[in-house]
């Protein structure tokens, strides 16, 4: 069975770096003040040590998923036997992770309550900790995700299943981050977003290299695979650097904060980050650019050196999470609205304030930056190759990205957190205007034209084609499914408790925004999309789909305007905002806004569908004419002529039958 023994020195160095960072940074456990509850120094040390172990195992989860999804050569979409041999590590890793997690629950409970480990083994107390605290809720989510991960790994035999495993393994990192230092810092939208980006980027960087190392130790690895990782690593470096700088500044607050123990650890982590960049550069120069000359051992040797530095960096990162941040003087009392939403309550909305206000949402901004960079790179690739790309599509993409930023981080997104009417405007922008712009910009077509195909590997282009023709895509591309998600989900979301529950958390808000955007893109992709689709929908079906969507949306808006009670489960009332106090009137206003804003884009889509219908008929007529001309020039019959002859023969037979009668 495949062994990970060669990684043990890196793990040991990580433990040493963690211990040294805790001691020098001031986060090492110490005896508590006499009279106060204390779990003991041993328990205090076990908390960060167990966090490090669990983090390393989770990174291994991601690395195994990446190896199967991207690097092992697939066999017509199926995972190779060598890939499956690496996947067999997952159950053993899960057992280890589960045991350490259970032990960690007891240790954390003992440490936070200040009781001995033996006293913390009381089941009723542990049950209360797991069900009534945010830390316990995060642990329960992790347990559920990890269980799904190992069950899914046992039945995964194809490459697309490896992508599902990759998603699940990345989700494991999310719950603890919501309780990290950044969650308690000011400007929650920026703080939580940056820590999520920072951790995910760092994990993908480490796990991506580890996945290459796993493949290189078990089978042949191509230069294309290493080059592909080099490109991904560059994106990860940018994500780690920018998010780390922003999040660090949020935590320390001032330059003086850098001279504290916590600030010293930030500097040490930054130095380790630059060392990793240097090693990555050497990896590219000595291995990637000279692959034909460099032996496989050089890659493995440099990788092990890089793992040592990465492990030390992870140790410092865990120490930072367990080290008190510098004390900052409060600039004022936190209002009720800020305690609920995480952002300060804005002044009463005016046109100028809504247009010019900006409250950055780091997670959405990162998505937008990556999307814009990829689109620009795709267009640039086509232009350098001498191909043309319609300017209108690029303009459509730029406008949709600007609207998406305005509806999430701009004034519209900001006021949408405090008033239902503005929330509905942001909803309609995300669900209609932005999706129309995105589908008309043809991002899938751009990617397929810009990306090159690989002879022995699926590559990014092959992955897109596989997803495009997968059974999941075929299912969601069904017009009935798309309509149910686009309009049917409105009734489920707003006329149940789901809306109020999602509004109270950042994760819930992100889920809503993603749903609005994804449902809109899916619907308009089927109706007016210019990208290739897994199934061809007739134009008459598209027109019918638009008319039904228009009717359902109008019915939803009328129902919203006719409500006699609030639908937000008390969310907007809990904000205690001093402006626009009539919440029910604001809800009715949101319904009328949804009606007005929903009908216009759908009418535009209806007109666009008719135009595409006419163009398709015109192209089909021209195709038939060209076929007839070619057939006439070659002296043969074309398809249209043969069909007419067939009809004439049928008519002749009918006449003969009638003559006999």
- Interval 570-588 mean pLDDT: 87
Using the predicted structure, report yes or no on whether residue 639 has a pLDDT greater than 60: no
The rounded radius of gyration (Å) of the Cα atoms in the chain is 29
pLDDT of residue 184: 47
Domain 5-321: give its CATH code: 1.20.1630
Confidence of residue 4 (pLDDT cuts 50, 70, 90): low
Q: What is the DSSP track for 573-612?
A: GGG--SS---HHHHHHHHHHHHHHHHHHHHHHHHHHHHHH
pLDDT of residue 633: 58
No. of helices (H) and no. of strands (E), the chain: 29, 0
How large a percentage of the chain has pLDDT more than 70? Answer: 83
pLDDT digits (tens, 9 = 90+) for 182-224: 444 456 677 788 888 889 999 999 998 888 887 777 666 666 6
pLDDT of residue 421: 92
3-state secondary structure 468-502: HCCHHHHHHCCHHHHHHHHHHHHHHHHCCCHHHHH
Q: What are the distances in angstroms from CA 543 to CA 429, 479, 489, 524, 548?
A: 22, 11, 21, 12, 9
Two tokens, residue 350: 């005016």
Spatial contact of 13 and 312, defined as CB atoms under 8 Å apart: yes
Q: What are the distances in angstroms from CA 120 to CA 73, 109, 130?
A: 49, 7, 13
- More confident call, 659 vs 411: 411
- Return the minimum-mean-pLDDT range out of 300-304, 506-510, 577-581: 300-304
What span, in angstroms and rounded, lies between the C-alpha atoms of 648 and 229? 63
- Interval 500-525 mean pLDDT: 90
pLDDT of residue 153: 82
pLDDT of residue 631: 53
pLDDT of residue 434: 94
What span, in angstroms and rounded, lies between the C-alpha atoms of 422 and 586? 9
pLDDT of residue 321: 86
What span, in angstroms and rounded, lies between the C-alpha atoms of 307 and 5? 13
- Return the minimum-mean-pLDDT range out of 60-74, 184-198, 326-340, 386-400: 326-340
Residue 78, SS3?
strand
φ/ψ of residue 358, rounded to 5? -150, 120
pLDDT digits (tens, 9 = 90+) for 26-78: 888 876 666 566 778 888 899 999 999 999 999 999 988 888 777 776 666 67
Using the predicted structure, report yes or no on whether residue 337 has a pLDDT greater than 60: yes
pLDDT of residue 457: 57
- Return the minimum-mean-pLDDT range out of 117-131, 146-160, 332-346: 332-346
* Nearest Cα to Cα of residue 551 among 477, 478, 483, 481: 483
- Interval 248-262 mean pLDDT: 81
Spatial contact of 408 and 363, defined as CB atoms under 8 Å apart: no
pLDDT of residue 589: 92
pLDDT of residue 27: 82
- Interval 96-112 mean pLDDT: 90
Using the predicted structure, report yes or no on whether residue 471 has a pLDDT greater than 70: yes
pLDDT of residue 598: 77
Burial class (CB in 10 A: 0-12, 13-18, 19+), 408: buried
* Nearest Cα to Cα of residue 195 among 236, 235, 232, 240: 240
User: What is the average pLDDT value for the chain, to the nearest integer?
Assistant: 82
| Domain boundaries for CATH 1.20.1630 within the chain | 5-321
How large a percentage of the chain has pLDDT more than 90? Answer: 24
Using the predicted structure, report yes or no on whether residue 657 has a pLDDT greater than 70: no
pLDDT of residue 8: 84
pLDDT of residue 455: 57
- Interval 314-319 mean pLDDT: 91
pLDDT of residue 650: 64
Confidence of residue 472 (pLDDT cuts 50, 70, 90): confident
- Interval 575-600 mean pLDDT: 86
Residue 410, SS3?
strand
- Return the minimum-mean-pLDDT range out of 14-23, 411-420, 515-524, 570-579: 570-579
Spatial contact of 261 and 326, defined as CB atoms under 8 Å apart: no
Helix (H) or strand (E) holding 100: helix 89-113
pLDDT of residue 645: 64
- More confident call, 399 vs 192: 399
Using the predicted structure, report yes or no on whether residue 422 has a pLDDT greater than 90: yes
- Return the minimum-mean-pLDDT range out of 44-53, 171-180, 307-316, 547-556: 171-180
Q: What are the distances in angstroms from CA 225 to CA 288, 379, 460, 589, 639?
A: 10, 23, 11, 54, 47
- Interval 600-607 mean pLDDT: 78
Confidence of residue 180 (pLDDT cuts 50, 70, 90): low
What span, in angstroms and rounded, lies between the C-alpha atoms of 651 and 656? 9
* Nearest Cα to Cα of residue 104 among 45, 28, 31: 45
- Return the minimum-mean-pLDDT range out of 14-18, 479-483, 544-548: 544-548
- Interval 391-407 mean pLDDT: 94
- Interval 449-461 mean pLDDT: 71
What span, in angstroms and rounded, lies between the C-alpha atoms of 250 and 326? 11
pLDDT of residue 505: 81
Burial class (CB in 10 A: 0-12, 13-18, 19+), 394: middle
Residue 74, SS3?
coil
Spatial contact of 606 and 436, defined as CB atoms under 8 Å apart: no
Spatial contact of 340 and 418, defined as CB atoms under 8 Å apart: no
pLDDT of residue 329: 52
Buried b (16+ CB within 10 A) or exposed e, 530-567: ebebbeebeeeebbebbeebbebbeebbeebbeeeebb
pLDDT of residue 301: 72
Angle (CA) 262 265 267, round 5°: 115
pLDDT of residue 1: 45
Across-strand partners of 75? 78
What span, in angstroms and rounded, lies between the C-alpha atoms of 575 and 572? 5
Burial class (CB in 10 A: 0-12, 13-18, 19+), 61: buried
- More confident call, 588 vs 281: 588
- More confident call, 596 vs 641: 596
- Interval 321-345 mean pLDDT: 73
The residue with tokens 């638009």 is 546
């Amino acid at each position: 069975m495949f062994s990970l023994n060669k990684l043990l020195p890196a793990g040991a160095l990580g433990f040493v770096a963690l211990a040294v960072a805790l001691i020098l940074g001031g986060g090492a456990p110490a005896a508590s003040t006499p009279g106060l509850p204390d779990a003991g120094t041993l328990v205090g040390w076990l908390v960060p040590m167990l966090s490090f172990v669990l983090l390393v195992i989770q990174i291994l989860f991601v690395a195994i998923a990446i190896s199967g999804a991207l690097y092992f050569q697939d066999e017509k979409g199926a995972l190779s036997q060598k890939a499956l041999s690496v996947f067999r590590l997952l159950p053993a890793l899960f057992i280890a992770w589960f045991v350490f997690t259970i032990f960690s629950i007891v240790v954390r409970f003992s440490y936070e309550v200040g009781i001995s480990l033996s006293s913390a083994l009381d089941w009723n107390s542990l049950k209360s900790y797991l069900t009534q605290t945010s830390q316990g809720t995060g642990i329960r989510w992790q347990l559920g995700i990890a269980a799904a991960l190992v069950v899914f790994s046992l039945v995964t035999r194809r490459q697309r299943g490896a992508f599902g495993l990759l998603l699940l393994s990345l989700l494991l990192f999310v719950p603890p981050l919501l309780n990290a230092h950044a969650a308690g810092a000011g400007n929650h939208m920026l703080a939580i977003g940056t820590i999520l980006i920072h951790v995910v980027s760092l994990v993908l960087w480490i796990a991506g290299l580890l996945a290459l190392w796993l493949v290189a130790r078990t089978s042949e690895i191509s230069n294309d695979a290493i080059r592909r990782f080099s490109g991904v690593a560059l994106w990860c470096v940018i994500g780690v650097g920018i998010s780390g700088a922003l999040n660090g500044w949020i935590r320390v607050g001032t330059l003086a904060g850098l001279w504290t123990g916590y600030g010293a650890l930030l500097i040490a982590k930054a130095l380790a980050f630059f060392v990793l960049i240097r090693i990555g550069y050497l990896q590219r120069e000595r291995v990637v650019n000279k692959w034909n000359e460099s032996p496989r051992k050089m890659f493995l040797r440099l990788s092990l050196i890089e793992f040592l530095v990465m492990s030390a960096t992870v140790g410092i990162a865990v120490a930072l999470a367990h080290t008190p941040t510098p004390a900052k003087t409060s600039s004022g009392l936190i209002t009720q609205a800020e305690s609920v939403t995480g952002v300060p309550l804005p002044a009463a909305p005016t046109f100028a304030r809504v247009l010019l206000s900006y409250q950055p949402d780091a997670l959405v901004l990162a998505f937008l930056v990556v999307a814009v960079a990829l689109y620009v790179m795709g267009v640039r690739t086509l232009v350098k190759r001498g191909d043309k790309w319609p300017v209108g599509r690029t303009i459509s993409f730029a406008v949709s990205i600007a609207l998406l930023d305005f509806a999430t981080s701009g004034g519209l997104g900001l006021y949408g957190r405090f008033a239902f009417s503005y929330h509905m405007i942001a909803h309609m922008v995300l669900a209609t205007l932005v999706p129309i712009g995105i589908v008309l910009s043809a991002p899938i077509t751009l990617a397929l034209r810009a990306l090159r195909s690989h002879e022995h590997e699926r590559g990014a282009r092959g992955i897109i084609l596989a997803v495009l023709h997968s059974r999941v895509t075929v299912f969601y591309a069904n017009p009935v499914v798309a309509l149910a998600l686009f309009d049917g989900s409105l009734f489920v979301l707003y006329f149940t408790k789901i809306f109020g529950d999602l509004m109270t958390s950042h994760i819930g808000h992100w889920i809503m925004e993603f749903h609005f955007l994804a449902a809109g893109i899916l619907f308009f992709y089927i109706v007016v999309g210019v990208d290739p689709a897994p199934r061809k929908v007739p134009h008459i079906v598209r027109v019918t789909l638009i008319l039904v969507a228009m009717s359902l949306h109008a019915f939803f808006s009328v129902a919203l305007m006719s409500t006699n009670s609030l639908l937000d489960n008390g969310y907007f009332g809990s904000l205690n905002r001093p402006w626009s106090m009539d919440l029910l009137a604001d809800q009715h206003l949101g319904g009328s806004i949804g009606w007005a804003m929903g009908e216009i884009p759908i009418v535009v889509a209806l007109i666009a569908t008719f135009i595409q219908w006419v163009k398709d008929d015109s192209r089909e007529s021209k195709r038939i004419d060209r076929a007839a001309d070619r057939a006439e020039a070659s002296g043969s019959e074309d398809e249209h002529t043969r069909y007419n002859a067939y009809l004439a023969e049928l008519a002749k037979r009918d006449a003969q039958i009638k003559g006999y009668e």
